[in-house]
Amino acid sequence: MSAGRIYYSLLALGGAWAACASVPVVRVGLVSLGRPASFRIGSDGDFAYCVPGGDDFVGWWSAGTNATVVAKDNKVCIGDKSYDALYFSSNGAWMQVAGDSATRKYRGWLYFIARAGKLTAINELPLETYLRGVVPCEMSPSWAPEALKAQAIAARTYTLTKIGAYQNEGFDVDDTTRCHTYKGFDAEDPRSDRAVQETASEIIVFNGKPIEALYATVSGGATASAWESFNGGGAPYLQSIQDVDKNGRPYAEGAKNFYWSFEVDAATLQAVFAKKLEGFGTLLDLRSMEKGPSGRTLTVSAVGSGGEVRVSGADLRRLLGPDKLRSTLFQMAKTDVGYRFDGKGWGHGVGMDQAGANGRAKAGQTCEQILKAYYTGVEIIRVPGSPVDLATRGSHVDRKTFRRG
């Protein structure tokens, strides 16, 4: 059926739907696709759309064809119809969404809302299915199975603490590093799928509640406590640990960016500190003033001919660029042109060290041992049913599933 001929009777076409009474889902804002005025939707199976709360599907397309949704003010339009919101369901494995910046495939339902002539695409799907598109984006599927299982449990737990955080935007979490990188069906891998399946419904708790299971790419041999990376905040289970084996060898040694070096000229530094202090002048000295338990720099003093500026190590990373000053675990040395930073690790360093988790798994540790090493005083439990039910917001939506009969 062509996209322009959508308003057929589903009964005449042999379509049907199965009512889904109150399904626990994660609502993922597909912000990486952008917020265009229109999206194009396709599927590997027949698919249809429905209005939330409606009694039946309104339009139907066969596999391999496309539908287009368009935003007009705060309405979602398709053909000559307009709605406050609508969603799509397919009898295939996936639906595809093409936006301005990317085209990706997703399981579950696709939900669309409009604001000021721009569309937001939202993928609604069960938590375990969502994790299939998260884990391989956050950790290489080629890594040790127990590390992948630790990643699956950490990601599952962290998701629970984020649900509802972006409620004003119409979703629970988004598909970027603000929450988890999520690329849907396209990212799935049998190895990470197995890790998700084998840990189904397992989460990390502290005093009976799901933890904010933060993790970092590589921590440089010592993880950071939450308070030293986040300006004084943080939970008691996010403590600094020495991430080394019994011989003192870091579990992540040899990982990319375990060691790094970055040199910056004086003029660049002066420009950075001049934004903090008008009349800063010529840079005369730069030094670390305070270190945290992990050895990370908490405070940096920059002395100029016109005054002194003090910034946190985290702020200095932001000012110089987190892809250049890769962590706050560094030493500084003056050079002929400016300053050199010799450091270890990449990221905030709090919680599980992903490269270290892989090293621990290779050394024979189980996923539970790995997680308890990085998160102080926690327990790993299996939740009956869907862990999404533990989230603070109402996690159930009423959605119909399209079937071709």
Q: Average pLDDT of each block of 10 consecutive residues along the chain (405 residues)? A: 38 48 85 95 96 87 96 96 96 94 94 97 96 98 98 97 87 92 97 98 96 96 89 82 96 96 95 91 93 93 94 92 95 95 95 98 98 98 89 72 76
State residue 354's pLDDT score: 98
Locate tokens 């189904």: which residue? 200
Beta bridge partners of 340: 263, 333
What whole-number distance in Å separates Cα of residue 149 and Cα of residue 220? 22
State residue 393's pLDDT score: 55
State residue 1's pLDDT score: 37
- Sign of the torsion angle spanned by Cα atoms 326, 328, 331, 336: positive
What whole-number distance in Å separates Cα of residue 64 and Cα of residue 319? 47
- DSSP type of residue 367: H
State residue 386's pLDDT score: 87
Contact of 179 with 308, CB cutoff 8 Å: no
The amino acid that residue 370 corresponds to is I
State residue 219's pLDDT score: 96
State residue 391's pLDDT score: 75
Task: Please tell me the pTM assigned to this model.
Answer: 0.91
Contact of 218 with 356, CB cutoff 8 Å: yes
Indicate the SS3 state at residue 168.
helix
State residue 53's pLDDT score: 85
Indicate the SS3 state at residue 263.
strand
Contact of 297 with 328, CB cutoff 8 Å: yes
State residue 385's pLDDT score: 83
Q: Indicate the Cα dihedral angle 57, 61, 62, 68, nearest 10°.
A: -140
- Work out the number of other CB atoms within 10 angstroms of the CB of residue 105: 20
Contact of 121 with 104, CB cutoff 8 Å: no
State residue 12's pLDDT score: 37
Alpha helices in 120-223 (DSSP H): 127-132, 135-138, 145-162, 190-198
